[in-house]
Structure 1
């Protein structure tokens, strides 16, 4: 980082201004924390990795220590500005889609444009605004794109508390938001952490379709539908497939049933609005897309990143769990000879679920 240009700035006033500018840029809230987490954070991370809960996300093990040491990830970091932005769109009721086995359920954060680009641009705009006020200073912006312990840093800064589903929660606005950070060499005053308010509630643990929340505050990614449908670079393991239901990209169940999300706020960001009717679309319609259609319609979407073959593979699993109809069987048969086994094998599995031997 570069040495900032201020001699004796009014850092408390600057912190107040930063929070105001963040709201002007569309963030719901911004808080400031120190550039480091307590030793137990690294201990917990190491225990989680040692248990294999990260699955095949090898990058988490490679960069584990950096996640809890911002000043090592970005030398010179003194403060971390943590921010959140609402993403919940105006969409068809999630419970209705989940109850309709012929529909495709896509995590609601992914129905619009890729949040990485949206948040990164806003975070950069905030950094630019700070620079206009004080001159050059050292910083780096992040949003789910580097080894950063986002939730832990946000909780430490008082942006919310870590729920038993491991996501950040707030009393007034639930958990349906994205997180972003600005690592900076400015010695800004720190906000106080907030106490947790989950109490004895275990709703998120109880409703998880795959029992992925193996203990309060601990998720085994190998069982998590978001991991299985997004991060896993191969077909969903057969033993997990019946539990997936029609969730073909991500899962929102632990948030949908969280009592605090009664207070969740709909997004005002047009970039997160539903595109291509993805909030209410059949599995068969998506399964029939050509690769060209997938690339055209998913351009600029977080879904694009999993690729066409993983997309079809997930949809085949969803169709295997769908009600048996001639249309479902015909749609699956049409993909029997797909050249990639990541697709062809789940298709055979799905057909067997409908009593069709191939």
Structure 2
């Protein structure tokens, strides 16, 4: 079979089903990535969300013995929110990162890859494949880089010439020997804007991320958020876009090519106080279709509580007192106590002191003490 002709057919077909970029890569071992991952492990920089061993994550043949090539796809997503509601006193709002706007991208890309697989099944006898999006063993970014979709920026995102880094990535390992495409030249140059702007210093150096310090990772954890990151969170309730927003390659990049990716402003920039009393069912109804809901409501609510403290939102005091006294989850009770202290009204401090008398969880008591420390700090500055 003329694989070059088929390759062109795939490129044409992919455009017809709404794939914005497609590239082809070899199944050689990702040697540079392998050494980087081993170093990440040694330094304790991994998030813990990674799937598979280093060997599986860097050797496609380990995942599919008959692998001959990898098809990489990219879809551009919007970077600007139309008609964004304002966050104002008495009605503060949180923010989901751009990669979580619109319908969950995992579903969108899996659907495109399945269509691509069906197309190839009709063209190639004995066609076999394995697809993955974000949660598979392979690094979507490393595959896309090898396939010529873009280059890996210092902010550890894949940067495409056309769409900047605002792209979702997925790939398909196949048993078809397609010719690999040429990689795109790295053009970050001397720029370090992303490293300089990272709120927590998670970008240790160009291309190296300490996931344990990254706000995008921290917003997805379920335990108490370490003290040193609470002030850095701002109003982010899921993910972080800072290193993308400051990137010169993303200037004026805003694409609205896929209706299903269009964000609902009330979903991606929701009011914070109503979030705190949502049932699981209500949370699923409102946020269940977006990628940022995958960890459930607890991390989102914890982050919303911290954001209310960040705003010193006095109108939230009553609801935060209710959570501190009655919520069955220690992380929520304790974070509410901390946030009440940060807001710093007399009512808030009195409520913390009263609740502390009946609280039995040591960690929650510790958070209550932190909340009361704000009173002493306020006194000193008075």
Q: Counterpart of 1:331 in 2: which secondary structure?
A: helix
Corresponding residue number in structure 2 for 1:4: none
Corresponding residue number in structure 1 for 2:317: 329
**Equivalent of 1:182 in 140, 151, 172:** 172
Q: Structure 2: how far apart are the matches of 1:272 and 1:116? A: 11
Aligned counterparts, 1:147-296, within 5 A = 147-230=137-220, 232-275=221-264, 277-296=266-285
Kept in 2: contact 1:276–1:297 (CA 8 A)? no
Corresponding residue number in structure 2 for 1:21: 13
**Equivalent of 2:45 in 10, 34, 53:** 53
Using the TM superposition, give the Cα deviation of residue 152 of structure 1 relative to its aligned residue in structure 2, in angstroms. 1.0
Corresponding residue number in structure 2 for 1:351: 340
* Bigger share in helix: 2
Q: Structure 2: how far apart are the matches of 1:310 and 1:107? A: 14
Corresponding residue number in structure 1 for 2:26: 34
Q: Structure 2: how far apart are the matches of 1:351 and 1:207? A: 29
- Number of residue-to-residue matches in the alignment: 346
Compared CA separation, residues 66 and 263, structure 1 to 2 (3 A): farther
Compared CA separation, residues 274 and 39, structure 1 to 2 (3 A): closer
What TM-score does the superposition give when structure 2 sets the normalisation length? Answer: 0.85
Using the TM superposition, give the Cα deviation of residue 309 of structure 1 relative to its aligned residue in structure 2, in angstroms. 1.8
What TM-score does the superposition give when structure 1 sets the normalisation length? Answer: 0.90
Q: Structure 1: how far apart are the matches of 2:261 and 2:161? A: 23
Compared CA separation, residues 151 and 281, structure 1 to 2 (3 A): same
Compared CA separation, residues 41 and 95, structure 1 to 2 (3 A): farther
| 4+ aligned runs moved over 3 Å, structure 1 | 92-98
Using the TM superposition, give the Cα deviation of residue 320 of structure 1 relative to its aligned residue in structure 2, in angstroms. 1.7
Compared CA separation, residues 55 and 126, structure 1 to 2 (3 A): closer
Q: Counterpart of 2:130 in 1: which secondary structure?
A: strand
Using the TM superposition, give the Cα deviation of residue 153 of structure 1 relative to its aligned residue in structure 2, in angstroms. 1.3
Give per-residue Cα distances to partners, 1:140-191, cap 9 Å, x unaligned: 1111121111111111111100000111002222010100101001000110
Kept in 1: contact 2:79–2:166 (CA 8 A)? no
Kept in 2: contact 1:210–1:244 (CA 8 A)? no
Q: Structure 2: how far apart are the matches of 1:90 and 1:207? A: 20
Corresponding residue number in structure 2 for 1:6: none
Corresponding residue number in structure 1 for 2:81: 91
Using the TM superposition, give the Cα deviation of residue 64 of structure 1 relative to its aligned residue in structure 2, in angstroms. 2.0
Q: Structure 2: how far apart are the matches of 1:152 and 1:299? A: 29
Give per-residue Cα distances to partners, 1:103-148, cap 9 Å, x unaligned: 2011122122111111101100011111222333011111112111
Give per-residue Cα distances to partners, 1:295-347, cap 9 Å, x unaligned: 2112222233111222211211111211332x122231121121011211111
Q: Which runs of 5+ in 2 are unaligned?
A: 353-382
Kept in 2: contact 1:173–1:261 (CA 8 A)? yes
Q: Which runs of 5+ in 1 are unaligned?
A: 1-8
